[in-house]
Amino acid sequence: MDLTPARWFIGIALGCATLAAVLSVEPRVSAPTWSPGPPKQLEDAMSGLRDAAIESQSAVRAYRLAQALDRWSSSPSDGGPVRFDRSVPATTVKAARAIVQDQWTRLGPAPSAAHAEVFIYVDSAAIPRATNATNSRVVIEPRRLVEVRFALPEATDGQRCVVLVRLRGTTAAHIEALRNERLAGVCAFFAVFGLPGTGVARWLSSTGYTFARQSDWDVPRAPSTDPRAFYGLSVAGSGCLTGKANACVLALGAISAADSTSARAAMPRVASALNGSGPRVLTSPTGPAAALGDVEGRLLSDMVRDLGPERFARFWRADSAPDVALAAATGTSLDVWTHGWLMRAYGAAPEDISIEVTDALWLAAAMPFLVLVAARRRERVLAEWPLRSRR
């Protein structure tokens, strides 16, 4: 008799039913509760405290951003890639300029300051949060030597992406911390390739520049990351990894004019200022946030490395939608390229689990023994254990 799938499922169902019938004679014991849930009043208070903390942090970031942009607009520029506030001493200017120049030249041939620059200022003042019982102020900001944020052209003068670098001091430790920071970020694309075209700019804005947060195409890339990380992909990202048609374009939020307007309306609106961890979202993000897992921030950086600066520049400056722009610049669809990129990042998707006939036979042979073990009362096993241990 052949072992058909129907007979296999019937056998499994009968085995599970037998096992459930045997185990149902045991008394049901509720799982112990180690810690009760918080009272409703305490839970509401905790939620309010969490919301207040988030709101205060957002207010601090907005204040620091506005302060930095105000200093940037009032500081003179020498036409180079770095601009300094009057608060920066001459010795710090020399060291910081060398650091910026070194990182800027590694981006590629002739990065221009016409559309990107670095602004460095010194500000060690802390924002006090409260005064405690000992009359000592508690600060609300993290104590870091250097803070780096990015302001897109919409927040500056419409032409330049500005890296806002706040030095908390001018000691050797602050300069060394500045040396260890990546001072290009999303602004590196503006420095090397200029302003994006209309279609690409619309896509970047609608996705909060999610896929352009890293610009490390000047350093070698590891062939793959942790293969278990693909479990963090969204539904569309998983479909992209497995090669499902149009899943990659959907995961990227690269909606072309031919697509429905409702899909574009679901994208998040974002502000034009980015901090070190991502964009400031004005409304609840319902778009492709974390659609491609941990590696999504380096997608465009890897595209520069894969296509080369010239072909990527044609894509970057295109006025059409990203899927049309990439096909016109390289002859490869965005769906196909992103699928291959995900395969290199995470490895091939796991194959479907198949049931071998020999495995089914071994399970069928072991089923009676498992039923006998399950039918034995737990009380007898526990009662006999001390006697057996004495022997």
Beta bridge partners of 161: 116
- Cα 216–218–223 angle (5° rounding)? 75
Task: Cite the beta strand spans of 178-324 per DSSP E.
Answer: 270-275, 278-281
Q: Which one has a higher pLDDT value, 230 or 308?
A: 308
**Phi/psi of residue 297, each to 5°?**
-70, -15
* CA separation for the pair 48, 56 (Å, rounded): 12
Give the domain ranges of the chain. Answer: 52-130+137-194, 196-351
- Alpha carbon 248 to its chain's center: 16
- Residue 375 pLDDT level (bands cut at 50, 70, 90): low
**Token couple for 307:** 């296509």
The pTM is what?
Answer: 0.70
CB 279 within 8 A of CB 316: no
* C-alpha to C-alpha distance for 275 and 295, rounded to whole angstroms: 18
Bigger pLDDT: 229 vs 206: 206
306/312 Cα distance (integer angstroms): 9
Cα 287 from chain centroid (whole Å): 13
Q: What is the pLDDT of residues 74-94, one digit of tens each?
A: 998 888 889 999 999 999 999
Phi, psi for residue 30 in degrees, rounded to 5 = -70, 145
E-only strand ranges, 25-145: 82-84, 116-122, 128-131, 137-139
Who wins on pLDDT, 52 or 381? 52
Residue-wise pLDDT tens digits, 191-205: 999 999 999 999 999
DSSP three-state, residue 151: strand
Residue showing tokens 């049309």: 324
Confidence of residue 383 (pLDDT cuts 50, 70, 90): very low
Q: How far apart are CA 290 and CA 234, in angstroms?
A: 7
User: Residue 266 in contact with residue 246, Cβ under 8 Å?
Assistant: no
Start-to-end CA distance of the chain, whole Å, equals: 49
Separation CA 188–CA 301 (nearest Å): 10
What is the pLDDT, as a whole number, of residue 218? Answer: 82
pLDDT number for residue 287: 39
Burial profile 363-376: b = 16 or more Cβ within 10 angstroms, e = fewer: eeeebeeeeeeeee
Quick count: other Cβ atoms within 10 Å of Cβ 42? 10
What is the C-alpha to C-alpha distance for residues 38 and 357, in angstroms, rounded to an integer?
52
Q: Give residue 301's pLDDT band: very low, low, confident or very high (50, 70, 90).
A: very high
Residue 190 half-sphere exposure toward CB, CA atoms < 13 A: 27
Q: What is the pLDDT of residues 4-28, one digit of tens each?
A: 666 666 777 777 667 666 555 545 5
Confidence check: pLDDT of 387 > 80 = no
Residue pointed to by tokens 């291959």: 340
Q: Specify whether the CB–CB gap between 325 and 199 falls below 8 A.
A: yes
DSSP class of 139:
E
- Is 311 exposed, middle or buried, given 0-12, 13-18 or 19+ CB atoms closer than 10 A? middle
Rank 230-234, 280-284, 359-363, 377-381 by mean pLDDT and report only the highest.
Answer: 230-234
Distance CA 32, CA 167 (A): 53
180 dihedral zone (left: phi>0; alpha: psi -120 to 50; beta): alpha
Q: Which amino acid is at 155?
A: A
Q: Could you give the CA distance from residue 364 to residue 345 in angstroms, rounded to a whole number?
A: 40
Q: Per residue in 117-137, pLDDT tens?
A: 999 999 988 776 655 555 555
- Type and span of the H or E element at 324: helix 322-330
Contact predicate 316/189, CB 8 Å:
yes
Return the ∠ at Cα 167 (arms to 162 and 173), rounded to 5°: 130
Tens of pLDDT, residues 125-183: 877 665 555 555 566 777 789 999 999 998 888 889 999 999 999 999 999 999 999 88
Q: 89 — phi, psi (to 5°)?
A: -70, 165
